[in-house]
Amino acid sequence: MKISLSSKVPFKKAMTSFSNPLNTIKTLIAATSLVATSISFGANAELGYPEKEELKFGFIKLTDMAPIAIAYENGYFEDEGLYVTIEAQANWKVLLDGVIDGRLDGAHMLAGQPIAATIGYGTKAEIITPFSMDLNGNAITVSNEIWKEMKPNIPKMADGRPVHPIKADALKPVVEKYMDAGKPFNMGMVFPVSTHNYELRYWLAAGGIHPGFYAPHKGDTSGKIDAQALLSVTPPPQMPATLEAGTIYGYCVGEPWNQQAVFKGIGVPVVTDYEIWKNNPEKVFGITKAFAEKYPNTTIRLTRALIRAAMWLDEKSNVNRPAAVKILSQSNYVGADYEVIANSMTGTFEYEKGDVREVPDFNVFFRYNATYPYYSDAIWYLTQMRRWGQISDEQTDAWYAEVAKKVYRPDIYMAAVKSLIEEKMVPASEFSDLQGEDGYREPQTHFIDNIVYDGKKPNEYINKFTIGLKAKDKI
């Protein structure tokens, strides 16, 4: 399996073929030419052949797995000499375990997964990410009954449609009613360290609804301490069915599962994560640190293929999106109907049935440096883990930065970009603003509660929230 430039192969070959003088000469010639090529490779620092050519990547049926599907279908993986098998996974836990135990070489992951694995929340493992897969792409959907009760609390525009963004303030009276009646207000999210969990919590807390604390040091990982809304885990594709069954009253999930609820008439998406935090980082591509160290060329090459796929997806203001939707609607990828996937992927989003609004940046794969793994993005997830108690103890700002550096690997990303530019496979202009990037986005505004986030000051940020643990708090 391990081929290419490793010096062991010709040596072994030489040893075994010494019996035949002709073979020996051939091997010697081959070995010499090999040494020559490897030297020239070293001198030019040109990217070598992949060490591992057959790879298996996992994904969850969500539209934001698109870069992987496109890199495969458009032959970008093959251009790098990689033969990739793509396999849908049952849920995020199975997917993560697959990457950790080596069944999968890499996967479409929730941004929180590599971070949580590295700090040892859940399964401890060193997972890194050289590539951030997309921005935005999630929404919060509530069931029809809840929507009916919420709607009177929402201000209307002149044409009678609700004013956006809809805040959780409108949901608060409903939750209180349920609490008074002694009924638990259950909502679904996809994984304890998922973007969706943090976004749903952010939205609820911004509207004064307490989503509950975790206390892993006391063995409590259900995240329901002091909760007004009880959040539980449901795999994305099963969200609509669970909502329909009445087990949960609302959920936060990626596409197409919010649009699916509209199409099936079982729920109403109330807010997209674009409105909760404009251009928030969403999925990442995760591999183990061991994989990246053992197969450095493979790592760079797969990153190159994914970058090209992301560029294709966002090319000329989404001109390729319909083609991408067609691919995603194949049953081996996302598999939902074309119309359902197209709704969000092509720049619109249907809220209440018939209330279709323009959200051109609902799914961003490349614009706004979406693919660059920013340290500040990792730190935001860490602040939310701290805010909700998944990180039990106070941590220094330096600790946050250090964890982010361990997990997010812009060095690999930039190596991939550099070699793509050198081989003239992408125009340098696309990456001009990444020159001298330090890995921290400028302090970000555009949160639904107008709180500003500065990745360099995580503790200060945590202290700004009304609901949630402060930097020094411990449950």
List residues near another protein by CB under 8 A: 1, 3-4, 9-10, 30-31, 33-34, 37, 49, 53-54, 61, 72, 75, 78, 81, 83-86, 88-90, 94, 101, 103, 237-238, 240-241, 244, 260, 264-266, 329-332, 334-337, 340
Q: Which amino acid is at 214?
A: Y
Shorter beta-carbon distance to another protein: residue 9 or 434: 9
| Selection from 204, 310, 313 nearest residue 250 by Cα | 204
Shorter beta-carbon distance to another protein: residue 154 or 241: 241
Contacts of 150 (CB under 8 A, 6+ apart): 142, 166, 170, 171, 174, 270
Shorter beta-carbon distance to another protein: residue 62 or 370: 62
Shorter beta-carbon distance to another protein: residue 90 or 319: 90
CB burial readout 244-283, b (16+ within 10 A) else e: beeebbbbbbbbbbbbbbbbeebbbbbbbbbbbbbbbbbb
Task: Report the nearest approach of another protein to the CB of residue 328 (Å).
Answer: 11
Burial of 43 (0-12, 13-18, 19+ CB in 10 A): exposed
Shorter beta-carbon distance to another protein: residue 53 or 275: 53
Shorter beta-carbon distance to another protein: residue 31 or 230: 31
Task: Report the nearest approach of another protein to the CB of residue 179 (Å).
Answer: 29
Shorter beta-carbon distance to another protein: residue 188 or 223: 188
Positive/negative CA dihedral, 335, 338, 340, 341: positive
CB burial readout 138-167, b (16+ within 10 A) else e: bbbbbbbebbebbeeebeeeeeeebebebb
Starting from the edge strand earliest in sequence, which strands make up the sheet with 229-233, in order? 229-233, 185-189, 250-254, 138-143, 267-272
356 and 268 Cβ atoms separated by less than 8 Å? no
282 and 369 Cβ atoms separated by less than 8 Å? no
Task: Report the nearest approach of another protein to the CB of residue 79 (Å).
Answer: 9
75 and 69 Cβ atoms separated by less than 8 Å? no
CA distances from residue 53 to 86, 302, 310 in whole angstroms, order as listed: 14, 10, 21
Name the β-bridge partners of 83. 54
Shorter beta-carbon distance to another protein: residue 331 or 450: 331
- Alpha-carbon Rg for the chain in angstroms: 24
Shorter beta-carbon distance to another protein: residue 30 or 434: 30
Task: Report the nearest approach of another protein to the CB of residue 174 (Å).
Answer: 23
Shorter beta-carbon distance to another protein: residue 41 or 465: 41
Rounded-to-integer distance, Cα 236 and Cα 88, Å = 12
Task: Report the nearest approach of another protein to the CB of residue 259 (Å).
Answer: 11
Task: Report the nearest approach of another protein to the CB of residue 237 (Å).
Answer: 4
Contacts of 101 (CB under 8 A, 6+ apart): none
Task: Report the nearest approach of another protein to the CB of residue 90 (Å).
Answer: 5
Task: Report the nearest approach of another protein to the CB of residue 128 (Å).
Answer: 22
Task: Report the nearest approach of another protein to the CB of residue 123 (Å).
Answer: 14
Task: Report the nearest approach of another protein to the CB of residue 91 (Å).
Answer: 10
472 and 410 Cβ atoms separated by less than 8 Å? no
